[in-house]
Amino acid sequence: MSKIYIDDLDLTLLTLLSNNGRKSYSDIAEELGVSAGTVRNRVARLVEQGTLSFIGNVDPNHVGFHAFATIHLRISPSNQIDHVVEQLLSFPEVGFLATVAGEFDLHVDVMCINNDHLNELLRERIHQIEGVVDTKTTMFLKVHRIKHPDLALLRKSGNGQ
């Protein structure tokens, strides 16, 4: 994969779009002091390289998801990790999945309709996957924020990549 270069204009553009993905290119151009064509070309490049995609951000509580949890999984033998990942990726409840170091092998964030749904997901599906030998579940009682971090943090670190 080729190196992806993100400059200050790209970061500012990404910040504006992450705050309001429906903002017009002409409004963005005026705010940034560049042409609408520059904004259009930058957005096209960011989309093409996979840095930016447009999605509708839905508040899960407003549409009926009321049981959120983080599940840590221990896998044995370790050569089963890829198999378990493949299975978990097929579950529509999984919003985040990562391989981790430490006591557990995988970290999974899920959104379920209610506690019965979460219980079914754990007992009837996750615990039934070959290689899953232990889980630790943390339920969220109230979600106060769901969003990406502020991209200005990248400027403060001096590291846009």
pLDDT digits (tens, 9 = 90+) for 72-124: 999 999 999 999 999 999 999 999 999 999 999 999 999 999 999 999 999 99
* pLDDT band per the 50, 70, 90 thresholds, residue 41: very high
Q: Is the pLDDT of residue 47 over 60?
A: yes
CATH 1.10.10.10 boundaries in the chain: 8-56
- CA dist 88 and 34 (Å) reads 44
Whether 159 has a pLDDT exceeding 60, the answer reads: no
Quote the strand ranges of the chain, DSSP E.
67-75, 94-99, 106-112, 132-140
The CATH code for residues 60-140 is 3.30.70.920
Q: What angle do CA 135, 136, 139 make, to 5 degrees?
A: 130
CA–CA separation, 46 and 9 (whole Å): 12
pTM for the model stands at 0.78
Fold of 8-56: Arc Repressor Mutant, subunit A (1.10.10)
